[in-house]
Amino acid sequence: MIRLIEVVKQFDRFDLREVFVNPRHVVSLREDGHIKQALNEGKLPEGLDERQSFTKLTLDKGTVGLELTIVGAPALVESKLKNSQQVLNG
């Protein structure tokens, strides 16, 4: 499992929270320009650098996918997924 920071929209504002992802279930990564625009408009929590990038991460969830918006550029998220240690292979 790998720990990432997810951007979550709640009503008219955005929050950040931790999320743990199994790298084996990641289907795709792509840049999320929509959240970048929200950051530039001041809708995200304070403290984020205006140069910050965001990634739309898609997880395999059986018949449907689950999309998460993650703080960080796609290349950074990819490197974290590749370098993660498998702790749950018991």
What is the rounded CA–CA span in Å between residue 38 and residue 34?
6
Cβ atoms of 8 and 70 within 8 Å: the answer is no
* Tens digit of each residue's pLDDT, the chain (90 residues): 999 999 999 888 899 999 999 999 999 999 999 999 999 988 899 889 999 999 999 999 888 889 999 999 999 999 999 887 554 444
Q: What is the DSSP string of 49-78?
A: -TT--EEEEEEEETTEEEEEEEES-HHHHH
- Rounded to whole angstroms, what are the CA distances from 83 to 1, 11, 23, 48, 76? 11, 35, 10, 24, 11
The model carries a pTM of 0.85
